[in-house]
């Protein structure tokens, strides 16, 4: 991968401007993508289509794809078994065609990115902020999805942040952001962003969305700022249920300490608005009166998940451990809803 990118940037210097200065993560992502593509699993067509749509925000054009292929071909002939070269390039061509078709279709319906003015920046503790944004044109999304964000401090670095709440009548949207140690974008958004600043948003993405209409009761399991999309899910479920029939919703809001329960007053207000909602705060590193103690995976295994739709959001490792705990306890996979945005910062 190092040789490939060196060849690409030497042959097409303008393409280097599309990539961040630190390339380690990018090299790993490309290697993983090529492994999936060469397997030619039809199930990845949806993933490739999402990738094609996401690449629009980088300004990718057909001539960039052609240059990418030329450098890939040179790299393959240098390092791969000669018998594998043709099959790898065929797989790449198939993947590129899926991505290009999805990008063209998306371009006919929406811009490559949206300008978003920061209209509110509320600091919630040492390392968490809630940002309110107003986009320059309508920003379509489904409750539970996330937006990729770029800050002027770090051009070409995009990171996904979930949108808290359903689409609002005034067109604004809110993001919950925790500054991660070493996280360039998250630190900039929490500590160096102010009202009046402008961000770029990529198209909304994510498959953990609220199922419309009537359905089973709901269990929401949140870790940290993973609370944001679950607030959107709760609002959507509450508003879409048939009159006279309310789906009971239980939300476990997990944090390390009492101070990390940054959104608890807003959650208590939601309980007043939605009497069928029960909010149960949980801390893992501190024992607090009136607050459950433990981790979200531990709580999940003992929670009333049977015959409920379960929505899980938080750090990737928390989601993975929670899925394992619920699966081991006998939960049905089709009832478990989650996203793992691996590029999170």
Task: Specify the pLDDT at position 341.
Answer: 60
Q: Which regions of the chain are under pLDDT 50?
A: 343-345
Task: Specify the pLDDT at position 155.
Answer: 86
Q: Are 335 and 308 in contact (CB under 8 A)?
A: yes
Mean pLDDT estimate for the chain: 91
Q: Record the tokens describing residue 148, joined without a space.
A: 């990729």
Task: Specify the pLDDT at position 226.
Answer: 95
Helices (H), 173-292: 184-191, 227-240, 264-273
Q: How far is CA 302 from CA 96, 311, 328, in A?
A: 45, 16, 12
- Evaluate if pTM is beyond 0.95: no
How many whole angstroms separate alpha carbon 291 and alpha carbon 281? 6
How many whole angstroms separate alpha carbon 189 and alpha carbon 175? 10
How many whole angstroms separate alpha carbon 288 and alpha carbon 290? 6
| Sequence spans of domains, the chain | 2-107, 114-201, 218-338
Q: Are 200 and 57 in contact (CB under 8 A)?
A: yes
- CATH number of the domain located at residue range(s) 114-201 in this protein: 2.40.30.10
Residues 6+ apart with CB under 8 A from 335: 216, 305, 308, 309, 310
Q: Record the tokens describing residue 202, joined without a space.
A: 């990529």
DSSP β-bridge partners for residue 292:
282
- CATH number of the domain located at residue range(s) 218-338 in this protein: 3.40.50.80
Q: What topology does CATH give the domain 2-107?
A: Globin-like (1.10.490)
DSSP class of 205: B
Q: Are 220 and 252 in contact (CB under 8 A)?
A: yes
Task: Specify the pLDDT at position 263.
Answer: 95
DSSP β-bridge partners for residue 22:
none
- Per-residue model confidence as pLDDT tens digits over 102-145: 999 999 999 999 999 999 999 998 899 999 999 999 999 999 99
Task: Specify the pLDDT at position 344.
Answer: 40
- Per-residue model confidence as pLDDT tens digits over 72-102: 999 999 998 877 888 889 999 999 999 999 9
Residue 194 three-state SS: coil
Closest CA to 207 of 336, 61, 60, 74: 336
Task: Specify the pLDDT at position 82.
Answer: 79
Q: What is the edge-to-edge ordering of all strands in the sheet holding 218-223? A: 292-293, 277-283, 249-255, 218-223, 309-313, 336-338
- Indicate the helix (H) or strand (E) that contains 297: helix 296-302
Task: Specify the pLDDT at position 10.
Answer: 95
């Amino acid at each position: 991968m190092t040789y490939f990118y060196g060849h690409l940037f030497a042959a097409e210097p303008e393409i280097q401007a599309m990539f961040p200065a630190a390339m380690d993560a990018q090299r790993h992502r490309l290697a993983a993508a090529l492994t999936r593509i060469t397997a030619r699993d039809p199930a990845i067509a949806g993933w490739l289509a999402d990738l094609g749509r996401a690449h629009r925000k980088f300004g990718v054009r057909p001539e960039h794809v052609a240059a990418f292929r030329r450098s890939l071909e040179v790299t393959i002939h240098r390092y791969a078994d000669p018998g594998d070269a043709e099959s790898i390039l065929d797989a790449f061509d198939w993947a590129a065609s899926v991505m290009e078709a999805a990008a063209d279709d998306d371009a006919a319906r929406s811009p490559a990115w949206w300008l978003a003015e920061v209209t509110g920046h509320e600091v919630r503790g040492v390392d968490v902020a809630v940002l309110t944004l107003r986009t320059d044109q309508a920003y379509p999304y489904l409750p539970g999805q996330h937006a990729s964000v770029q800050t002027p401090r770090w051009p070409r670095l995009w990171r996904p942040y979930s949108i808290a709440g359903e689409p609002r009548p005034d067109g604004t949207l809110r993001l919950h952001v925790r500054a991660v140690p070493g996280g360039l974008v998250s630190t900039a958004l929490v500590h160096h962003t102010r009202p009046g600043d402008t961000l770029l948003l990529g198209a909304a993405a994510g498959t953990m969305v609220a199922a419309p209409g009537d359905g089973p009761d709901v269990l929401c399991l949140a870790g940290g700022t993973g609370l944001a999309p679950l607030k959107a899910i709760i609002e959507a479920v509450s508003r879409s249920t048939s009159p006279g029939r309310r789906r009971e919703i239980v939300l476990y809001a997990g944090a390390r300490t009492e101070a990390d329960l940054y959104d608890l007053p807003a959650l208590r207000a939601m309980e007043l608005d939605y009497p069928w909602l029960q909010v149960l705060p949980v801390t893992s590193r501190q024992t607090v009166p009136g607050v459950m103690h433990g981790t979200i995976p531990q709580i999940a295994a003992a929670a009333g998940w049977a015959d409920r739709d379960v929505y899980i959001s938080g750090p990737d490792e928390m989601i993975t451990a929670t899925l394992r705990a619920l699966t081991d306890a006998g939960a049905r996979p089709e009832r478990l809803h989650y996203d793992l945005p691996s590029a999170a910062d």
